[in-house]
Structure 1
Amino acid sequence: MHGGNIFAGEIFLSPSAYQTDTFPTIEEHIKPPPGYKRVDVILGSFADYLRKLPVVDGLSAVKDYKNRQRVAANDSALAAVIPVDIMDKPLWQCMDIILVFYADYLKQNKKQDEIKFPLPDGTILSWNDWMKGSRPAFQGLNFKIFNKASPDSSAKNYKRYLNCIFEYSGTQTFFYNYPQVQINDLKPGNFIVKKGPKGHAVLIIDLAVNEKGERIALIGQGDTPACQFYLLQNKQGSPWFKVTENEYPGLPIRKKMYWSGLRRFPAFE
């Protein structure tokens, strides 16, 4: 199990679910190719958290929220599965599962005050406010926050908070309300959001660089319908994608992603 967070049991499956005693981390399981070295990250940062995500060691299919196979274990685009407990979580879709990871990181690092996400109009709804009883309501053209409920800091209420964000805020909320990142400033923990009504989001899990300054990235995604998060694999059978000045990264997925949609969390290191 990853981390010591009281909510971790709602995010990751136990290793026993895969008939194993432990999960390796992404950092342990996926090494950079010869000549490349992982970029330095700050201990305790979101990038560090992502490197330490558990990963299933060996072939494993990606399951959806109804425990159906979403991606076959031998799919050419699948590099590895993060054992997310997705059962009965239909709202944990592409952007939402990225928010789940970020909120989990903040909780593990005692940064609860930073758990706050935008509603579609940019209004910020924080976990602290929700915990104290605040709830959003749409009035006219904007959301307003009202004190409607009793204080509740339980895990069940935390799940309600996240589900409220997921229900209201689609991928476009984060395309328009989160800071844009230029490709030269790319860091692990940034994410790409596809603009438009059929949006999507993928997460930059890690970066490595060689002596020439050429960069490669580990990139993963959830999907719609909601499924376990998984790392992608390129046409050459490697989980490392070249980071170039091309308009798009050339991922093996249905929706073409563009570097112009590169975004970061506002409190990102």
Structure 2
Amino acid sequence: MNVFRLSRKQIILRLVLPAVLLGTAIILLRLRACPHWQPVEITLHMDQNVPSPYIDPDGMTQETRILPPEGYERIPAEDGSFLQFMRQMELFPDGSSIYDYHGNPLPNANAAAVYTLPVGTEGYQQCADTVIRLWSTYFRKTGQTERIVFSLSNGYQTSFEKWCTGSRILAFGDIVWSMPLAAPDDSEQAFHDYLMTVMRYAGTLSLEAESQPISVEDAKAGDIICHGGTPGHVVVIVDEARNADGARCFLLAQGFMPAQSAHIIAGNGRTQNMWYTEAELSADPITLSSYVFHGSDALRRWKDGF
């Protein structure tokens, strides 16, 4: 009777190969669960800019660069408010391009000004990601880290405070695993790594699910115009001005595809005016220079607002 016998080499392969494959899978999963954000390097690129009555080219922040329309004044901003935070956001020089996640300049036809907020190299800072990052950066700067909590597209909630304890997540469709995979860390790098994970799994659908429709009369800085979808789009109100009659107008900011610099949206083509009126934001559709939002519930407030 012939007895099948494995050679020593075959035995080693049968024992070692599964272990190697398992080890490789564990390493890949850990790398996925523990991302490392890094900013893209850029070389400043200037486009030809047309002089505008709404732009002070010497201004280097949102408040000093973008001038309100004639007859309007910016409303006062409370100390520590999101409105104050956005007004102090630094901008690239007037005429600077938008940059994608490879560091390449993009046409800035839809940008009145470009924030210096760095873009990561991974391609995640698109529209919803940009809004999430602006909100989170504000919360972190003002000591409200407990508010850095976002739902993923499958509804699972992840918080920065839990991330700081070393907890990491892996998501596959509706299945999410949370596990301790890192040392406690609340550094700036940990903050960016957390946002990278949120950007990977969240989007316009999750922001829409976490927000409620509001009237234009209630709109203020931090509120969003959102169309949840794949793809959808979302922009955020970042400034407000008012005239003597009480009429208001707003600045809007966004990211877009491909992942790119956060920027203030330009006017919708009729004028150089990048301030959008209450009438424009209460219309159906809401027509911006970069996107058209359909539906009467596009103007929304995330959670408890700002």
Give TM-score, length-normalised by structure 2: 0.74
* Distance of 1:192 and 1:166 partners within structure 2: 18
Name the CA distance, whole Å, in 1 between partners of 2:102 and 2:39.
16
Secondary structure in 2 matching 1:113: helix
Corresponding position of 2:51: none
1:205 offset after TM fit, Å? 1.2
Question: Are 1:30 and 2:54 matched, yes or no?
Answer: no
Match of 1:241 in 2: 276
Identity level (%): 26
- CA-CA distance at 1:139 after TM superposition: 8.1
- TM-superposed deviation, 1:141: 4.5
Question: What is the letter of the counterpart of residue 59 of structure 1?
Answer: G
SS state of the match for residue 195, structure 2?
A: helix
Q: Is 1:54 aligned to residue 87 of structure 2?
A: no
Aligned to 1:165: 198
Picking from 131, 154, 157, the partner of 1:121 is 154
Q: What's the CA shift for 1:114?
A: 1.8
CA distance in 1 between partners of 2:161 and 2:255 (Å): 27
Stretches of structure 1 that go unaligned for 5 or more consecutive residues are 1-9
Residues 159, 56 of structure 1: alpha-carbon distance in 2 compared, 3 angstrom cutoff = closer
Relative to structure 1, the CA distance from residue 90 to residue 12 in structure 2 (aligned partners, 3 Å threshold; closer, same or farther) is closer
| Amino acid in structure 2 at the alignment position of 1:226 | A
| CA shift digits 1:58-106 (9 cap, x unpaired) | 211111111112224xx3x331111222251411111111211111111
Task: Tell me the residue number matched to 2:265.
Answer: 232
Which position in structure 2 is the counterpart of 1:256? Answer: 292
- Give the length in aligned residue pairs: 253
* Secondary structure of residue in 2 paired with 1:179: strand
2:146 touches 2:161 (CA, 8 Å); kept in 1? yes
SS at match of 2:302: coil
Q: Residue 218 and residue 140 in structure 1: after superposition, are their counterparts in 2 closer, same or farther (change >3 A)?
A: closer
> What letter is aligned with 1:175?
E
When residues 207 and 157 of structure 1 are mapped into structure 2, their CA distance, relative to the original with a 3 A threshold, is same
1:204-244 deviation digits (Å, cap 9, x = unpaired): 11111212222211112111111111112222011111221
Comparing 168-177 with 179-188, greater Cα deviation is found at 179-188
Take 2:64 and 2:158, find their aligned partners in 1: how far apart are those partners?
36
2:229 is paired with a residue of what secondary structure?
coil
Superposition pairs of residues 128-207 of structure 1, within 5 angstroms: 128-138=161-171, 141=174, 143=176, 145-207=178-240
User: CA contact under 8 A between 1:119 and 1:143: conserved in structure 2?
Assistant: no
Provide the secondary structure at the position in 1 that maps to 2:212.
coil
What SS class does the counterpart of residue 196 from structure 2 fall into? helix
The equivalent of 1:44 in structure 2 is: 80
Q: Which residue of 2 aligns with 1:3?
A: none
Asked if the contact 1:11–1:85 (Cα under 8 Å) also holds between the matched residues in 2, the reply is yes
Answer yes or no: is the 8 Å Cα contact 1:131–1:153 preserved in 2: yes
2:105 to 54, 69, 86: 69
1:247–1:260 contact (8 Å) kept in structure 2: no
Separation in 1, partners of 2:139, 2:210: 20
Q: What TM-score results when the alignment is normalised by the length of structure 1?
A: 0.83
* Higher Rg of the two aligned structures: 2
Paired residue secondary structure (2:136): helix
Q: In the superposition, relative to structure 1, how do residues 138 and 78 fare at CA in structure 2: closer, same or farther (>3 Å)?
A: closer
Instruction: Report the CA distance between 1:144 and its aligned residue.
Output: 5.6
**Which letter maps to 1:238?**
N
How many Å separate the matches in 2 of 1:108 and 1:264?
21
C-alpha contact (below 8 Å) 1:205/1:220 kept by paired residues: yes
Q: Deviations over 1:5-42 (max 9, x none)?
A: xxxxx78999x9689xx962111111211211222332
Question: Could you tell me how far 1:149 is from its partner in structure 2?
Answer: 3.9
Does the CA-based 8 Å contact 1:193-1:202 persist in structure 2? Answer: yes
| Distance in 2 separating the partners of 1:129 and 1:110 | 16
